[in-house]
Every structure is written in C-alpha cells, then in structure tokens.
C-alpha cells in the first residue's frame, strides 16, 4: 500500500486524512522495509507536507505515544530545533536547556540522535551516563527534582524506532524533523522551536495553536540556522495570548558581538561534548556562550520567567558567569548520570 501513496506523492498529490493515517500505521510498524519507508518520506518532503498532513501524522504519533506528567509548580517548556540545517553546529538547544534550568526554568527536553548532523541531544545525554530508556515515572521525577530531564524520541513513542533506520538512510530532514518538536511527551504548551526553513515559521505556531498551545516561539536565522543566531538577524514568530506576531531580532542591538558559522561548527562527538561543557563552565569562546544565552534567553521568555529576550539573555549570562549553570549540571549528573565523565573533561 505504501507504494500506492508514493506514486501519488511523486506526481505532487496530497494525501487525505484516511490515506495519511494508513501510511503512518505502516511507517510506525514493521510492515514495510526501511528502504521503502525512506522513499515515502523523501517523496513527501519533495512534495512538501501540508498542514493537514502534518496534523494527521502528529495525531497518529500521539496515539502511539507514551506520556509523562511531572508535578511541577512552574511552566514546563521544551527547547529544540527541527534539525536539517546541515550546518553541523554544536548542540546549542541542549546547552541552552541546561542554562534555562539553572535560571529556574523547567525543561522537558525531547530529542533524538542526529539524523543529519554530527550529534543529537540524545548523544550528549548518553555520553554523560543518562539512561535514555528511563521509565516515564523516573523521567518525571528527574524533571521535578532538577528542572530538566530528557525524553528520548525513540522511546516516546516507542513506535518511532520503526522509522529510525529510514531516516538514517536519507540523512536529510523528513517530516519527523518537524513532528518531533510538536509531540513532546510531557504535553508542553510552551516551546522554543528552531526551524530549518522560514517556510515553517508561522505554520508551526498555527498548527500548535489548534492543539491548544500557549507560548510558541519559532525562530530561523538569516544564515540558515534552526536556532537564534548571533551571526545575522533572526526571523521570529511568537504565539502568545492566542495571537501570532512576527518580529526580527538583531543580536547586535542586544549588545552581542557578530559571530561566524565557523565559530559554532564541530566535526566529532568529542567537539560536541567539549563545546557543551565549556559553555556551561564559562570557558568557551564568547561566540559559543553568546549564542547559547541568546537561545536560553528566548526560552526564559517562553517560560514566563523573563519579560523579553534582553532580560532573559542577561539572566543566562549571569548564570554562567556565577558558576550556577555548571553547578546545576553537576548536581544533575550526581543524581542521574556519571559525574566521572565531567571530571575527566575538567582535569
């Protein structure tokens, strides 16, 4: 049956709700080969996913999902990028997530291994001994205690493991790059989402608005990053108070120095780990620290902890300067990771 849908996509045809439902049941099972699934996802990406197709796929993923319910007093958020920008930068959103938590935010970090870059957020957490397959109740407890926890996309929902190989075959962005940020297992209503294309800046807030989201900020930099960047101006869409507003953020007007993409690029897991830790302990380059804090600053706005990005930026910079960011990460590792990994890096 997947071949029938592929033929339709090849000629630019859209799939209706029933067809996409059926296709998703196939994708999230072992009924077809990874190669055929990859062909389907490639043709869907080539055609361009409609909002209705994405909504149907999202609903199906949630049906297959495993959900968690952390009992937290504050606003739980997620900070992630869709991936697919092919620029091989260090894990900016993961690093920003820990800065946000060190500032009092609560982050249910949903992520995966990289499908198109050097490392994904899962690779960072795994390196430091975090159990990617923690039971949902345990993950909820970690978030309650530390203000941050990791939700491995291949576990939430477990059916995602059935498309992991197909995505690896393609090594390019697929609909699941878009869907991942939209189906956080903690059912967060407040998110900072970096998108790989300006096309999705307003589409994603519109889709999530239909699902009852509160604060959704989508960002895309003029130089192509699926993050807020200090290399260029940034296009932003912000769903807030049930309205979607567009704006442009100029990092230089916030007092940040102009960086280059090369300042953020990595080529190995070792590079990624060193970049992550050096930002948190304040020993990284100004470029890496500033781009992290620009993104964590936006996350603090989404979390209702900062009135604007400027305030959130200053809160983030101070957390790193004071040692609070690395101290928070050390406490996190002592409880649910391998602190010896951090000591090795700092020795």
* Per-residue model confidence as pLDDT tens digits over 74-119: 999 999 988 766 788 999 999 999 999 999 999 999 998 876 567 8
Q: What is the chain's alpha carbon radius of gyration, rounded to the nearest angstrom?
A: 19
Q: Return the pLDDT at 108.
A: 98
Q: Return the pLDDT at 116.
A: 59
Token duo for residue 223: 């130089």
The CATH H-level (homologous superfamily) assignment of domain 2-63 is Transferase, Pyrimidine Nucleoside Phosphorylase; Chain C (1.20.970.10)
Mean of all residue pLDDT scores within the chain:
94
Does position 328 have pLDDT exceeding 70, yes or no? yes
pLDDT tens sequence across 148-171: 999 998 888 788 889 989 998 998
Instruction: Report the alpha-carbon distance of residue 253 to residue 233 in Å, rounded.
Output: 10
Question: Which of 221, 335, 345, 324 lies closest to 276, judged by CA?
Answer: 345
The answer to whether the CB of 277 falls within 8 A of the CB of 339 is no
DSSP 140-201: HHHHHHHSEEEEETTTSSGGGHHHHHHHHHH-S--HHHHHGGG--TT--SEEEEE-SSGGGT
Secondary structure of residue 139 in the 3-state scheme: helix
Place of tokens 């294309």: 197
Instruction: Report the alpha-carbon distance of residue 176 to residue 173 in Å, rounded.
Output: 8
Q: What is the mean pLDDT of residues 273-294?
A: 98
Total H helices, total E strands in the chain:
15, 7
Q: Return the pLDDT at 158.
A: 80
Instruction: Report the alpha-carbon distance of residue 179 to residue 157 in Å, rounded.
Output: 12
Q: 76-332 — its CATH code?
A: 3.40.1030.10
Instruction: Report the alpha-carbon distance of residue 22 to residue 247 in Å, rounded.
Output: 39
pLDDT tens sequence across 253-279: 999 999 999 999 999 999 999 999 999
The answer to whether the CB of 81 falls within 8 A of the CB of 266 is no
Which residues, in sequence order, are CB contacts of 131 under 8 Å at separation 6+? 138, 336
Instruction: Report the alpha-carbon distance of residue 199 to residue 4 in Å, rounded.
Output: 28
pLDDT tens sequence across 40-67: 999 999 999 999 999 999 999 989 889 9
Does position 233 have pLDDT exceeding 80, yes or no? yes
Which residues, in sequence order, are CB contacts of 283 under 8 Å at separation 6+? none
With 0-12 / 13-18 / 19 or more C-beta atoms within 10 angstroms meaning exposed / middle / buried, residue 302 is buried
Instruction: Report the alpha-carbon distance of residue 148 to residue 187 in Å, rounded.
Output: 15
Question: Which of 228, 189, 195, 229 lies closest to 212, judged by CA?
Answer: 189
pLDDT tens sequence across 4-27: 999 999 999 999 999 999 999 999
Q: Return the pLDDT at 84.
A: 65
Q: Return the pLDDT at 159.
A: 84
Q: Return the pLDDT at 230.
A: 98
Q: What is the mean pLDDT of residues 217-224?
A: 95
Token duo for residue 269: 């897991």
Confidence band for 343, pLDDT divided at 50, 70 and 90: confident
Domain boundaries, the chain: 2-63, 76-332
């Amino acid at each position: 049956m997947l071949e029938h849908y592929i033929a339709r996509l090849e000629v630019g045809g859209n799939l209706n709700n029933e067809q996409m439902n059926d296709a998703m049941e196939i994708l999230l099972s072992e009924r077809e080969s990874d190669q055929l699934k990859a062909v389907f996802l490639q043709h869907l990406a080539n055609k361009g996913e409609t909002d209705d197709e994405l909504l149907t796929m999202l609903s199906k993923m949630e049906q297959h999902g495993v959900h968690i319910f952390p009992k937290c007093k504050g606003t739980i958020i997620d900070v992630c990028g869709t991936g697919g920008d092919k620029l091989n930068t260090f894990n900016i959103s993961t690093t920003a997530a820990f800065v946000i938590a060190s500032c009092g935010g609560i982050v249910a970090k949903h992520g995966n291994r990289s499908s198109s870059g050097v490392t994904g957020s899962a690779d960072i957490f795994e390196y430091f001994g975090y159990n990617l397959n923690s039971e949902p109740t345990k993950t909820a407890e970690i978030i309650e205690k530390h203000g941050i926890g990791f939700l491995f996309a291949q576990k939430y929902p477990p059916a995602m493991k059935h498309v992991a190989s197909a995505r690896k075959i393609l090594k390019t962005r697929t609909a699941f790059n878009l869907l991942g940020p939209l189906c956080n297992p903690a059912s967060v209503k407040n998110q900072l989402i970096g998108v790989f294309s300006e096309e999705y800046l307003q589409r994603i807030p519109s889709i999530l608005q239909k699902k009852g989201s509160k604060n959704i900020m989508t960002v895309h930099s003029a130089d192509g990053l699926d993050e807020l960047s200090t290399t260029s101006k940034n296009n932003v869409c912000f769903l807030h108070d049930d309205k979607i507003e567009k704006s442009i953020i100029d990092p230089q007007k916030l007092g940040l120095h102009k960086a280059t993409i090369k300042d953020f690029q990595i080529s190995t897991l070792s590079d990624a780990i060193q970049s992550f830790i050096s930002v948190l302990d304040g020993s990284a380059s100004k470029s890496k620290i500033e781009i992290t804090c620009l993104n964590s600053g936006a996350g603090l706005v989404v979390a209702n902890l900062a009135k604007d990005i400027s305030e959130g930026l200053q809160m983030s910079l101070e957390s790193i300067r004071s040692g609070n960011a690395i101290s928070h990460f050390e406490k996190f590792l002592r409880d649910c990771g391998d602190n010896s990994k951090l000591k090795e890096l700092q020795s």
